[in-house]
Structure 1
C-alpha cells in the first residue's frame, strides 16, 4: 500500500510508541491514586492509520486496564515491530476473567458483571471501541485471560509499506 493511498484514506504514518507515551502521561496520576504500577516497554512501532482513532484505541485499552484492576496491581504496555507488523500489547492484573466471557467484552454495553467493583461509571463501551478501531484498520486482536487475573491483549497492525 503506497503512502498516497494511505493519505487518500485519511491515514497517516505514526509510531504507536508515541501514541502510548501520550496516553500514559495523561493517566499516570489516576493509576498512582489507585495503587497501580504502570510499566512501559516502548520501541518504535510505525504503522498507518487514523491518528484520532488509534489514540482512542490506546486510551481505551489503558483506561480499561486501570479501571478493572486492584490496588497493588500492574499495567504493562509494550510496542514493538515483528517483521513488517507493528504490535501493541497491554497486560494487566485484576480479577480472574473466565475465558469464555472474553469475546462478549468486545461488544457494546458488555461488562463482566453489572456491578463489578461497585462501579457505575462505565457503560461497557471501551473494548467495543477498541474492537471497532481494530476492524477499521484491518488489524488483528487477540485477548487472553491470565490465570492469575487480568488480561493480555495484543493488536497486530498489518504491513503498511508500499
Structure 2
C-alpha cells in the first residue's frame, strides 16, 4: 500500500513539475536582457529547486519500481572493467570540477547484469565519493573476482563515516551527521536505490571505514559462471 501510494503520488507530481521546469527555463532564456539581477536570481533559485524536486520524484519512482521487482532488467555478460570505465567516463566532468582524480583497475571478471543499472550504482557511489573528497585527492575504483563472486569497490580519501552510522546509510533519506557533510545536498535516495538494484541482481552492498582514512563503498555480484550455474 505504501509503495503504491509513493509510486502514484510521484507519477502525478512528475508531469506538472516537468512543465514548471520547462517554463522557468524559457523565462530565463527568453528574458535575459529584460530581467533585473534580483528577478533573475529568484528565477534561477526557483529553477534549481524545481530540478531538485524532479530528481527526487524520479528517484522515488525508481526506488518503488526496484523494490517491487518491476524495474525491467536485461541481463547479459559484461566485463567488470568495462562497466568501471563507462562509469568513470560519465563522472569525469563532475570529478574535474571538484579537482578530484578518478582511477579504475580490476581483473577480467565477467558478470551477468543489466549494464545500465550497475553503471548507475557505480555512478551513485562515485558521485558520493567526489562530493566528500578534498580537491587534489584520488577516488579509486576496483573490481576483483573472489570465487564465484565479483567485488566492486569505490575508495575515497574524504572524512570517513562514523562506525555507528554505517548500518543506516542505505536507508531512504538517511544522511551522515557531522559538519563535514552539512554542505552537501541530494535526494537522499541514491544509496537506497543502489542497494535495491544490487539486491535485485542477487548481490549485497556495504560501506566501511578505511584504516588509512576515507571510506570504501563496495558491492558484490555473482560471477557470470555462477549465474549460469544457477540458471
Q: Secondary structure at the match of 1:43?
A: coil
Q: Secondary structure at the match of 1:160?
A: helix
What is the match of residue 86 of structure 1?
A: 150
User: Deviations for 1:59-87, whole angstroms, at most 9, x for unmatched residues?
Assistant: 11111111122212221000122222222
Shift in CA distance, 10/22, structure 1 to aligned 2, threshold 3 Å: closer
Instruction: In structure 2, list runs of 5 or more residues that go unmatched.
Output: 1-72
Q: In the alignment, is residue 57 of structure 1 matched against residue 121 of structure 2?
A: yes
What is the match of residue 5 of structure 1?
A: none
Q: In the alignment, which of 115, 118, 125 is matched to residue 183 of structure 2?
A: 118
What is the match of residue 136 of structure 1?
A: 200
Instruction: In structure 1, list runs of 5 or more residues that go unmatched.
Output: 1-8
Kindly indicate which of the two structures has a greater share of residues assigned to strand: 1
Kindly name which structure, 1 or 2, has the bigger radius of gyration based on alpha carbons: 2
Q: In the alignment, is residue 102 of structure 1 matched against residue 169 of structure 2?
A: no
Query: Matches of 1:10 and 1:131 in 2, distance apart?
Result: 18
TM-score, normalised to structure 2, is: 0.60
Q: In the alignment, is residue 26 of structure 1 matched against residue 93 of structure 2?
A: no
Q: In the alignment, is residue 44 of structure 1 matched against residue 108 of structure 2?
A: yes
Greater Cα shift, 81-90 or 98-107: 81-90
Q: Which has the higher contact order (CA 8 A, sep 6+)?
A: 1
TM-score, normalised to structure 1, is: 0.83
Q: Secondary structure at the match of 2:123?
A: helix
What is the match of residue 3 of structure 1?
A: none
Q: In the alignment, is residue 70 of structure 1 matched against residue 131 of structure 2?
A: no
CA apart distance, 1:107: 0.9
Q: Secondary structure at the match of 2:84?
A: helix
